[in-house]
Structure 1
């Protein structure tokens, strides 16, 4: 099966691709490995041609899962991973030094069971290391044939330009959805100007736009429990707009997640959303969004639902916010 495709740097990938983090990291307990293996293979069967992982996810277990589950189909997809962020004794560690990047890539190659990763991102900017030095380490990995293209994640337009001056950047990855519009400040336009693909992570707002968040009774270890907009009275306020959005999706005859993804796909031709899921039926629902045509009037109504003030609360807790350099709005709440 084939899906509509989009250019992402030197690659051509399915317009809706797959973020694999959920299978090992961040939310509820991950599904059993055999189920995750079926999900990943189902994604490829349905035409998904990019899988996105990171050294951070599950402390490397997500990369191991991908290698074990679909390594035998390596030629069927673009493989993307990330370095700089990792887990040490259960805590996030940020290290953008060339030595750490080189070691991280070697670890990723081993866990994935491959000698080449198509797209390697700097997962976050390290304020202690000039971006030029971090990119230089990726350039050397590319020259050694260990990676094919270079990306950056959650970085400002200025940082992207500095990185691009060292070596052409293939992709920028940042959170983007109807509820998180920060890339529209400068990053989307910068990517369009420089010919860089844009990968939208958390395109259904960590489940908020997929009818899967109704309260803040999260499972132990769920990162949303520490995210201001997903808890308490702030979440209760945000769910008011979400219910209107769900009603609109129902009127159109599609699911909320499909409407959220259709809105992103309509933003610009260089945008590639990577929803993640732990359920095959949700995977199938998300992938179907690549072929759904939503009238412009309905997309405008969806956008209007999330006008300024509809969503309250910082998108990250402070320890995570200080690790990104993405532009913020003047009135944006920050932890």
Structure 2
């Protein structure tokens, strides 16, 4: 088989074009597993670029700033004009013992942007997301400052993450939102009812994070113990009885993947990739083999019937446990924009 050409897609109506498959850099600094060395992290980013991935996602909060610094060093070895760099602000640094603080004041927006530009050592950020929405600050105020940053050339496009429909509409009225980053995978599909149609109505691109169910469909957690320091330890879907029930879903996915001549991870990622021309998922990994496998998922040709069959294997009412963001919101996020889970 020849080299896979990763397609390009447009996010939003403002001119941003990215690789259909992006790369989430968060895991390189150890949020899910052990961090990789700086050299390895840089080499993975460079390898992804060599394969046609140009859309790289980081945040000021990942690895307590270390992630942005790592991405910046990798970008120094790549042609900047061919990269679409996404980073985020809004989750204030701290030890989080008293809860995770979300900030969206105009002053915080500006200081965060300036700090990220300095850490990554770039002149502009292609896509700047509000990581979580501060409900104590009108979204119009936050967006007003982001709009100024666009006018000053510090950022090119504005994004939101985990925002409600009302917030998306109000924000978009101040300045066009180019992309919305939300959790979206075979076992996390809440956004399909209201958020996805709204994005398409307003012309906003969708960037699914955790498209492999936080690695669940990669099978690692099923076959190996989850590391003690991993964020997955606090995820209800990876705990106790929930996990045992979810393993049954994984086994069914494995069997279906065998029929398609691929892995469960590739089938799960291919399903997300097929959700629309305005969708660009950002799976992350610390291993070149997994990166190659993710890219190979673009080869899968899935019919409408195939997509329905995949959905049937992962019925939403059989997924056990709340998604991680809901658990966090129920006790620790301050001013986050997504409502706490229904009990």
TM range (shorter): over 0.9
- Tell me how far 1:326 sits from its aligned partner: 4.5
Deviation per CA, 1:117-147, whole angstroms, max 9, x where unpaired? 0110000111111111111111111111110
Question: Paired residue for 2:9, among 6, 9, 13?
Answer: 6
The alignment partner of 1:125 has SS state of coil
Contact kept in structure 2, 1:314 and 1:334, CA below 8 Å? no
Counterparts of 1:254 and 1:111 in 2: how far apart (Å)? 39
Counterparts of 2:327 and 2:90 in 1: how far apart (Å)? 19
User: Which residue matches 1:76?
Assistant: 82
User: Which residue matches 2:184?
Assistant: 176
2:61 counterpart of 1:56: yes
Counterparts of 2:328 and 2:7 in 1: how far apart (Å)? 38
2:244 counterpart of 1:241: no
Question: Paired residue for 1:159, among 150, 167, 187?
Answer: 167
Unpaired segments ≥5 residues, structure 1: none
The alignment partner of 2:144 has SS state of helix
Deviation per CA, 1:159-188, whole angstroms, max 9, x where unpaired? 100100010000000000000001112111
Residues matched between the structures, number: 331
The alignment partner of 2:181 has SS state of strand
User: Which residue matches 1:18?
Assistant: 23
Question: Paired residue for 1:302, among 310, 320, 333?
Answer: 310
User: Which residue matches 1:87?
Assistant: 93
Counterparts of 1:267 and 1:68 in 2: how far apart (Å)? 33
Question: Paired residue for 2:202, among 194, 205, 208?
Answer: 194
Give the stretch that moved more between structures: 104-113 or 295-304. 295-304
User: Which residue matches 2:32?
Assistant: 27
The alignment partner of 1:219 has SS state of coil
Counterparts of 2:203 and 2:129 in 1: how far apart (Å)? 17
The alignment partner of 2:42 has SS state of helix
Counterparts of 1:327 and 1:21 in 2: how far apart (Å)? 25
Counterparts of 2:217 and 2:336 in 1: how far apart (Å)? 23
- Tell me how far 1:250 sits from its aligned partner: 1.4
The alignment partner of 2:286 has SS state of coil
Structure 1 residues 254-265: aligned runs within 5 Å: 254-265=262-273
Unpaired segments ≥5 residues, structure 2: none
User: Which residue matches 1:144?
Assistant: 152
2:234 counterpart of 1:226: yes
- Tell me how far 1:90 sits from its aligned partner: 6.0
Contact kept in structure 2, 1:3 and 1:291, CA below 8 Å? no
Give the stretch that moved more between structures: 189-198 or 220-229. 220-229
User: Which residue matches 1:214?
Assistant: 222
So what's the TM-score if we normalise by structure 1?
Answer: 0.94
Counterparts of 1:251 and 1:327 in 2: how far apart (Å)? 39
Counterparts of 2:66 and 2:292 in 1: how far apart (Å)? 24
- Tell me how far 1:318 sits from its aligned partner: 3.3
Contact kept in structure 2, 1:185 and 1:327, CA below 8 Å? no
Counterparts of 1:324 and 1:310 in 2: how far apart (Å)? 27
Give the stretch that moved more between structures: 144-153 or 313-322. 313-322
The alignment partner of 2:318 has SS state of coil
So what's the TM-score if we normalise by structure 2?
Answer: 0.91
Counterparts of 2:123 and 2:262 in 1: how far apart (Å)? 41
User: Which residue matches 2:133?
Assistant: 125
Superposition CA RMSD, Å: 1.9
Counterparts of 1:121 and 1:281 in 2: how far apart (Å)? 29
Contact kept in structure 1, 2:237 and 2:323, CA below 8 Å? yes
